[in-house]
């Protein structure tokens, strides 16, 4: 079996992740921040370690400005719904996932103005388009760091610099890049970084987070939910400090134990070496696909400008059929169709049919790429 669905969730997980979760379930188990006995404190230490590891990975100074939640979608919703008010203006790109597009379209109906900057067919935003889109009521730029459809990497620091020069907040959706591509809050001019734990950070599903930069005034960012935090229990008002302001209800500590181990693994490997390996795999796949007659690859087709996610179609074979045959006949697992990003598919010209998407990951090998390429050649020859 060959697992090429890492853009949906990474698998297998790095060594240490399952063990950390098992340790929590069997040896710790207690609620962090609710009690002060030894197991509760150990549990809180695990969560704090996860904050520190994430802060280190993204070069954020203060681990208390790392907030955890269920997934990147929740974190994006937190910012979009918590920060934008009626008559505010927000700028985004046509390559966004529905995790950004759906809350924005809902907000639009409530009176928020939304500008969607059209990206090139290769999936790239032109930062100079931002300049023309900024209005007097613009408050936020939100950008998908890399497309989940074709992997195109956006010029984060250029867009971030534009945001900073107009005194706007800059939110990035790092679902596809956190752990796979170097991200620095400071050099990227990033104010808010939303990430998922279960993709390239190697953690389990049900984990995600938001890194809140120093420029964000948290009294202007309303929580998505309010409730028990274990702190200031004598008061009925939501705490106004981080991370508790945004972390009501018991956290997924077993998940965060796994996430911490995943991020530790990423830090040990080094994002640069992970990136190098994934570029090599992507280049091999792109070169191989280019050589097969009847296959159309979408995006820029240059490994260094994209993540390890590659979308293509085979002439005369619907993506759904290709997916089923790859699974049944070759044990190759991938995602087919539309990838929760209709606007991105329209931008690259694959709406409504969709694509076959190979989401490569760190644990894939060149041999697996070669096997997949010969299977694709066979599929394209005999259709």
Partner 1 sequence: MNPDDSIAYAYILVFSTSHAIQIEQWLIEKKVPCRLVPVPRHLSSDCGVCVRILKSDIEQVHKLTEQAGIELVGIHSE
Task: Confirm or reject binding of residue 3 to partner 1 (CB under 8 A).
Answer: no
Q: State which residue, 64 or 318, has the beta carbon closest to partner 1.
A: 64
Task: Confirm or reject binding of residue 213 to partner 1 (CB under 8 A).
Answer: no
Residue with tokens 């077993």: 254
Q: Spell out, one character per residue from 53 to 82, where the chain touches partner 1: x when CB under 8 A holds, - when not.
A: ----------xx------------------
Q: At closest approach, how far in Å is the CB of 250 from partner 1?
A: 12
| Contact region with partner 1 (CB under 8 A), list: 128-136, 198-206, 224-232, 335-343 | 224-232
Task: Sheet with 335-337: list strands edge to edge.
Answer: 295-297, 309-314, 355-359, 335-337
Q: At closest approach, how far in Å is the CB of 208 from partner 1?
A: 17
Structure tokens at 259: 């996430």
Q: State which residue, 247 or 377, has the beta carbon closest to partner 1.
A: 247
C-alpha distance from residue 76 to each of 71, 96, 126, 258, 352 (Å): 9, 12, 23, 22, 25
The sign of the dihedral angle between the CA atoms of 70, 250, 230, 36 is negative
Q: 330: how many CB neighbours lie within 10 A of its CB?
A: 17
Of these, 10, 40, 138, 152, which contacts partner 1 (CB under 8 A)? Answer: 40
Residues between 237 and 276 that touch partner 1 (CB under 8 A): 239, 241, 243-244
Q: What are phi and psi of 64, to 5 degrees?
A: -75, -10
Of these, 17, 20, 44, 153, which contacts partner 1 (CB under 8 A)? Answer: 44
Structure tokens at 213: 């930069």
Q: Give the separation between CA 192 and CA 239, rounded to whole angstroms.
A: 20
Task: Confirm or reject binding of residue 35 to partner 1 (CB under 8 A).
Answer: yes
Task: Confirm or reject binding of residue 230 to partner 1 (CB under 8 A).
Answer: yes
Q: Spell out, one character per residue from 79 to 118, where the chain touches partner 1: x when CB under 8 A holds, - when not.
A: ----------------------------------------
Max CA distance (Å), the chain: 71
Size, binding site for partner 1 by CB under 8 A: 24
Q: State which residue, 41 or 279, has the beta carbon closest to partner 1.
A: 41
Q: Which residues lie across from 171 on neighbouring strands?
A: 142, 192
Task: Confirm or reject binding of residue 32 to partner 1 (CB under 8 A).
Answer: yes
Of these, 13, 51, 335, 345, which contacts partner 1 (CB under 8 A)? Answer: 51
- DSSP assignments along 343-379, one per residue: HHHHHHT-TTT-EEEEE--TT--HHHHHHHHHHHHHH
* Residues lying near partner 1 in the complex (CB under 8 A): 32-36, 40-41, 44-45, 47-48, 51, 63-64, 229-234, 239, 241, 243-244
């Amino acid at each position: 079996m060959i697992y090429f669905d890492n853009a949906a969730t990474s698998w297998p997980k790095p060594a240490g992740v399952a063990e950390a979760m098992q340790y929590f379930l069997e040896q710790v188990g207690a609620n962090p921040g609710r009690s002060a006995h030894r197991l509760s404190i150990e549990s809180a230490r695990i969560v704090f370690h996860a904050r520190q590891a994430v802060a280190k990975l993204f070069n954020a100074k203060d681990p208390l400005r790392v907030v955890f939640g269920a997934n990147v979608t929740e974190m994006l919703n937190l910012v979009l719904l918590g920060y934008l008010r009626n008559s505010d203006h927000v700028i985004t790109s046509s390559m966004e996932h529905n995790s950004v597009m759906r809350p924005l379209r809902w907000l639009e109906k409530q009176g928020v103005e939304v500008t969607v900057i059209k990206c090139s067919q290769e999936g790239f935003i032109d930062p100079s388009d931002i300049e023309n889109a900024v209005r007097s009521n613009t408050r936020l730029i939100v950008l998908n760091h890399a497309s989940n459809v074709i992997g195109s990497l956006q010029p984060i620091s250029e867009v971030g610099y534009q945001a900073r020069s107009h005194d706007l907040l800059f939110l990035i959706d790092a679902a596809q890049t956190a752990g796979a591509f170097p991200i620095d809050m400071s050099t990227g001019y990033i104010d808010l970084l939303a990430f998922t734990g279960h993709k390239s950070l190697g953690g389990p599903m049900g984990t995600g987070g938001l890194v809140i930069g120093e420029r964000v005034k948290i009294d202007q960012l309303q929580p998505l939910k309010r409730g028990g935090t274990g702190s200031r229990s004598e008061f009925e008002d939501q705490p106004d400090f981080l991370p508790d302001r945004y972390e009501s209800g018991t956290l997924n500590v077993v998940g965060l134990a796994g996430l911490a181990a995943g991020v530790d693994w990423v830090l040990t490997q080094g994002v640069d070496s992970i990136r190098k390996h994934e570029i090599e795999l992507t280049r091999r796949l792109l070169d191989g696909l280019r050589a097969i007659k009847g296959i159309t690859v979408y995006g820029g087709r240059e490994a260094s400008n994209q993540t390890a996610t590659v979308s293509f179609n085979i002439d005369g074979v619907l993506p759904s059929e290709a997916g089923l045959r790859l699974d049944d006949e070759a044990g190759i697992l991938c995602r087919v169709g539309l990838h929760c990003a209709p606007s991105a598919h329209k931008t690259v010209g694959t709406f409504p049919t969709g694509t076959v998407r190979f989401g490569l990951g760190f644990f894939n090998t060149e041999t697996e790429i070669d096997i997949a390429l010969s299977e694709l050649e066979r599929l394209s020859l005999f259709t």
